[in-house]
Amino acid sequence: MKQNTVNEVWQRIIDYSVEPGVKPDENQIFYTMARNIPFWIERQGNNIMPKNDRKSKLFQISKEIIRRDIDMGVATNSQIKTSDLGTPAPSYRYALLSDPRIWIK
């Protein structure tokens, strides 16, 4: 049975995240789809923050944003593009929901 409710997906994201300032291990690295940029997720209160070595200006992502992406079909509809997601951090959200560690097929 698929386990992809928003609570289960969010918990898997949290399980692969790190505390702020902690260096991620190899198993906690994700990659954007288009540019293959490595990134990791830091927990910041009730939100998550994508981080990368490029020191890019990134923005917090809430559970509600992930819920909206799931409802939109990001993980299941191959016709959805990163540009369809809007802000914040669409490339990182798309990559997370396309990763088999987060979205179980």
pLDDT tops 60 at residue 19: yes
pLDDT for the residue numbered 92 = 93
pLDDT tops 70 at residue 1: no
| Rounded Cα–Cα distance for residues 11 and 99 (Å) | 14
Q: Domains of the chain: which residue ranges? A: 6-98
- CA nearest to 17, candidates 65, 60, 79: 60
User: What pLDDT, in 10s, does the model give residues 24-49?
Assistant: 999 999 999 889 999 999 999 999 99
| Rounded Cα–Cα distance for residues 14 and 39 (Å) | 14
pLDDT tops 60 at residue 60: yes
E strand spans, 1-105: 30-31, 38-44, 47-51, 61-62
**Average pLDDT of the segment spanning 64-68:** 95
More confident residue, 86 or 31: 31
| Rounded Cα–Cα distance for residues 100 and 93 (Å) | 13
pLDDT for the residue numbered 96 = 96
pLDDT for the residue numbered 55 = 77
pLDDT for the residue numbered 31 = 97
Phi, psi angles (nearest 5°) of residue 96: -60, -45
